[in-house]
């Protein structure tokens, strides 16, 4: 038999270790992993010269924009950025225009995405108007429901505990999950109004309004409600020691809770925010170094389930508003995340196994992706090939994302994704995109 592709002379991360092998790929799946001499004939044979192959990396928190926000990013540029950064699968957040919050808006979004995407894309939905509409969205294959606790996006009243409990019970019954942005709306608005009244419009005021307690308060409230519902609650971008502690305690108590941290909360601190100004404003904001260190500890001891980028592109002018309250929050991160993390592998703070667990295995488990998360025959041929020795300086001017700036611009990084293979197709090689839009596939929660 002749297979589609053989990746020869590879090192692959399999079963918890790095093994020298060749990988045969056929009809979008891994056909065989083994010695070079046991490989079938192939249409294309690529010598990887000892490069490391990881199961395709998954970014569970991405804002692909498009539709009414296509001026910031579209399906094509967003997924090109994903491929360039080494991601084979990304999940799109629902705060779009229109907001993804019904079977109809989701279907329209999938139709708009289908012929434009370059990697696998899954979709979150916001809560619909009425719990009876949740089922339709689950049937359409949503990765989960996104709940913003800072302002109501979607149909669920975030101030109403009883409404939250009812919605959580429905989501549990449907076997889905809720991913939450946990910052307490009431505390946040009150602080913000007071700062505005006293003429404080600077990033320090923003930091104070988005205090650590604002996060912890929302985390605790949601955990309290979920004690009754027992739904899978996934905390997005946990940024504080006490927020993480609350999540860990809930896990110990047996609640189905998972959490994610972002590169900006790991690699940036309030010192960087002072240096970078409004460009580095995110929600939740970056914290002091002790908080970031607590997140690193959480990665080390396994309390942190996944790392996701929270890629949130905006037009540069939107990042430069005079008053911090008008600044659009978030930064583009699809093209820096893997580089920053591989640099920590080089420095010994992370292992290759950590990267695979945090960005492939656990995301696949949490979001129930079929056939992903490991390199194994019969599984999808989603593969990220990395060069651990490649040194370079982050240069945002070359981003595939429409947002060509970064809080990490100018940083030296070591380690880079050099090939992104999606369902057996080489989508990116040495920074070049090799496929046409539409080659990516829509993924669903199984
Ligand atoms: Zn986000």
pLDDT of the residue at 269: 98
Determine contact, residues 3/30, Cβ cutoff 8 Å. no
Determine contact, residues 155/126, Cβ cutoff 8 Å. yes
What is the model's pTM? 0.98
Predicted confidence band of residue 389 (pLDDT cuts 50, 70, 90): very high
In this prediction, residues 30-34 reach a mean pLDDT of 98
Centre of ligand 1 to C-alpha 3, Å, is: 40
Neighbours of ion ligand 1 (CB under 5 A): 310
pLDDT of the residue at 439: 94
Predicted confidence band of residue 162 (pLDDT cuts 50, 70, 90): very high
Q: Would the CA dihedral through 351, 352, 353, 359 be positive or negative?
A: positive
pLDDT of the residue at 315: 97
Nearest one of 370, 350, 339, 341 to 302, comparing CA atoms: 350
Determine contact, residues 52/385, Cβ cutoff 8 Å. yes
Centre of ligand 1 to C-alpha 227, Å, is: 25
In this prediction, residues 47-69 reach a mean pLDDT of 98
Show the beta-strand stretches assigned E in 319-411: 383-393
Centre of ligand 1 to C-alpha 350, Å, is: 24
User: Quick one: residue 348, left, alpha or beta (phi over 0 = left, psi -120 to 50 = alpha)?
Assistant: left
Q: Decide if 310 is catalytic.
A: yes
Cβ neighbours of residue 3 closer than 8 Å, sequence gap 6 or more = 24, 25, 26, 31, 32, 40, 41, 42, 43
252-269 residue pLDDT tens:
999 999 999 999 999 999
Coil, strand or helix at 222: helix
pLDDT of the residue at 35: 96
φ, ψ for residue 46, nearest 5 deg: -120, 130
Centre of ligand 1 to C-alpha 96, Å, is: 11
Coil, strand or helix at 348: coil
Centre of ligand 1 to C-alpha 269, Å, is: 18
Centre of ligand 1 to C-alpha 154, Å, is: 15
Determine contact, residues 13/376, Cβ cutoff 8 Å. no
Predicted confidence band of residue 442 (pLDDT cuts 50, 70, 90): very high
Element (H, E) at 207: helix 203-209
Q: pLDDT exceeding 70 applies to what percent of the chain?
A: 100
Mean pLDDT over all residues of the chain?
97
Among 66, 74, 184, 310, the one annotated catalytic: 310
pLDDT of the residue at 359: 98
């Amino acid at each position: 038999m002749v297979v589609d592709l053989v990746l020869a002379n590879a090192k692959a991360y399999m079963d918890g270790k790095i093994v020298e092998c060749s990988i045969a790929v056929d009809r979008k799946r891994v056909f065989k992993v083994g010695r070079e001499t046991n490989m079938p004939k192939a249409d294309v044979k690529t010598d990887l010269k000892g490069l490391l192959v990881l199961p395709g990396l998954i970014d569970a928190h991405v804002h692909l924009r498009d539709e009414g926000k296509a001026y910031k990013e579209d399906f094509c540029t967003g997924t090109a950025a994903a491929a360039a950064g080494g991601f084979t699968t990304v999940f799109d957040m629902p705060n779009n225009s229109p907001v993804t919050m019904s079977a109809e808006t989701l279907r329209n979004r999938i139709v708009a995405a289908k012929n434009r995407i370059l990697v696998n894309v899954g979709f979150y939905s916001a809560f619909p108007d009425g719990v009876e509409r949740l089922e339709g969205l689950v049937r359409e294959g949503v990765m989960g429901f996104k709940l913003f606790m800072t302002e109501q996006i979607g149909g669920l009243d975030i101030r109403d505990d009883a409404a939250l409990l009812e919605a959580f019970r429905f989501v549990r019954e449907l076997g889905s999950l809720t991913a939450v942005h946990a910052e307490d709306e009431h505390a946040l608005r009150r602080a913000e109004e007071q700062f505005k009244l006293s003429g404080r419009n600077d990033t320090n005021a923003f930091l104070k309004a988005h205090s650590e307690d604002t996060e912890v308060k929302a985390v605790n409230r949601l955990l309290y409600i979920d004690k009754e519902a027992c739904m899978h609650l996934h905390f997005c971008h946990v940024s504080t020691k006490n927020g993480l502690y609350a999540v860990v305690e809930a896990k110990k108590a047996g609640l189905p809770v998972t959490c994610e941290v972002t590169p900006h909360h790991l690699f940036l601190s309030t010192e960087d925010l002072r240096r970078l100004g409004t460009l580095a404003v995110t929600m939740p904001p970056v914290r002091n170094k002790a908080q970031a260190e607590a997140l690193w500890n959480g990665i080390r001891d396994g309390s942190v389930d996944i790392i996701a980028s929270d890629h949130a592109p905006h037009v540069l002018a939107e990042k430069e508003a005079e008053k911090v309250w008008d600044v659009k929050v978030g930064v583009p991160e699809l093209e820096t995340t893997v580089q920053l993390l591989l640099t920590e592998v080089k420095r010994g703070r992370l292992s290759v196994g950590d990267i695979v667990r945090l960005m492939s295995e656990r995301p696949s488990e949490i979001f129930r992706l079929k056939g992903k998360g490991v390199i194994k025959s019969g599984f999808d041929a989603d593969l990220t090939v990395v060069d651990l020795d490649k040194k370079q300086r982050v240069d945002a001017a070359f981003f595939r994302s429409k947002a060509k700036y970064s809080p990490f611009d100018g940083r030296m990084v070591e380690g880079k994704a050099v090939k992104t293979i999606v369902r057996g197709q080489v989508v990116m090689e040495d920074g070049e995109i090799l496929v046409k839009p539409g080659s990516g596939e829509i993924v669903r929660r199984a």
